[in-house]
Structure 1
């Protein structure tokens, strides 16, 4: 085998963040009676949350904001879209969201199947994730996929973030893996794929949404089942 160590991203690659976030936000929408407070359209609120979350994560990766600001500001901005300026509500939603989200277990199609396939072929499977340490460990435990991974490298644990080279170097050191026998698998072109490329590591772009791009990764698939054609 050319590769021995497979480094997966978690959110949006294996664990369906958008679906799990929607379930959690709908729960909060109901229990906190957001409709009565002025959030008249849940689907719009959910879409706005995802857009704010995406932009704030980009700012967090680039060092412009801290973790605590990201967690609350995505809720505050989503509420402000409905002209609700309520910092106490935003803080309450942030805390409850992070308590509830990791208990959700919606995975992308074929996740268990492909992890089992790779495990049986004796690949060493690891995670490199920009998520928070405690939250990410809860996600993989509650999704019943924790046992597939030898090492879980988080941004908190490594004190770095994808796409920075340091987190990939940290992962290689932690797993005692050679860069030439390692490959990164993820959905985020900048953080996972270009980040791994700049660190000298091969990549599999898991392009779930069939996004257009100019970068040429080592491999590209559109769903997890296609990984069987590579490994």
Structure 2
């Protein structure tokens, strides 16, 4: 391997998206004094219903703003669970504020980035909104590791479109052969990296079986395993 840079996905690769989202969902309820216990609803049920609606509504992100999508998710969830409140817009506002400052990381992120940054240029390619992704990286305290952070909203292309990968390569002034991409999604990360002939390391964080057609260059179960891949290339990584 002779990589010059390592590009990471953000959500569920460096930051734990599910935990960040759940902090925001429940934190907004607390901010707006909505008691699930009083309404006889468990946190687990509320989260399940909310996340189901939210995943559906976010497919309309080209039409609605993030605040509107979150408000729609709360409205549908509260209606289904028969919880009566009159401050849904406040819930949406609180959610977006909490989420945008939530930096729950995947295990070993700081350790891995600290070591890799000694020998490699690091960057991020992420789908999402600039107003969310950059503050979340700052909240986690990892933004200083990265030379470039490419957010889909900022350039008008989202993974797996090859354009977002080409944009990152152009910013780094590197070829695809000089870069390893690390991500958790076969649909967005693997598919996009493959289109631009970039080596891909699949972060299989949930130990899922790969479809037969998926053949990533590397596969790891935890980020710490990344360091094993680079032992032979950079002897001083572990000194």
Q: Does structure 1 residue 47 correspond to structure 2 residue 48?
A: yes
* Residue segments in structure 1 that go unaligned for 5+ positions in a row: none
User: What TM-score, normalized by structure 2, do the two folds share?
Assistant: 0.84
TM-aligned CA deviation for residue 60 of structure 1 = 5.1
Q: Does structure 1 residue 114 correspond to structure 2 residue 115?
A: no
Equivalence for 1:99: 97
> Is the alpha carbon distance of 1:13 and 1:81 closer, same or farther for their aligned partners in structure 2, counting shifts above 3 Å?
farther
Equivalence for 2:171: 174
Q: Does structure 1 residue 16 correspond to structure 2 residue 16?
A: yes
1:35, 1:41 within 8 Å by CA — same for their partners in 2?
Answer: no
TM-aligned CA deviation for residue 56 of structure 1 = 4.2
> Is the alpha carbon distance of 1:27 and 1:171 closer, same or farther for their aligned partners in structure 2, counting shifts above 3 Å?
same
Equivalent pairs, count: 226
Question: Which range moves more in the overlay, 66-75 or 220-229?
Answer: 66-75
3-state secondary structure, aligned to 2:180: strand
2:31, 2:94 within 8 Å by CA — same for their partners in 1?
Answer: no
1:9, 1:187 within 8 Å by CA — same for their partners in 2?
Answer: yes
TM-aligned CA deviation for residue 158 of structure 1 = 1.4
In 2, distance between residues paired with 1:191 and 1:75? 27
> Is the alpha carbon distance of 1:196 and 1:52 closer, same or farther for their aligned partners in structure 2, counting shifts above 3 Å?
farther
CA RMSD of aligned residues (A): 2.3
Equivalence for 2:125: 128
Equivalence for 2:192: 195
Q: Which structure features the higher share of helix residues? A: 1
In 2, distance between residues paired with 1:221 and 1:14? 14
In 2, distance between residues paired with 1:72 and 1:197? 36
String of CA shifts for 1:47-75, please: whole Å, max 9, x gaps: 33333334444x358x6x54445443333
Q: Does structure 1 residue 206 correspond to structure 2 residue 197?
A: no
3-state secondary structure, aligned to 2:22: helix
Larger radius of gyration: 2
User: What TM-score, normalized by structure 1, do the two folds share?
Assistant: 0.87
Question: Which range moves more in the overlay, 17-26 or 211-220?
Answer: 17-26
TM-aligned CA deviation for residue 85 of structure 1 = 8.0
TM-aligned CA deviation for residue 39 of structure 1 = 6.7
In 1, distance between residues paired with 2:215 and 2:65? 32
2:53, 2:77 within 8 Å by CA — same for their partners in 1?
Answer: yes
> Is the alpha carbon distance of 1:114 and 1:93 closer, same or farther for their aligned partners in structure 2, counting shifts above 3 Å?
same
Moved over 6 A (4+): none
* Residue segments in structure 2 that go unaligned for 5+ positions in a row: 231-239
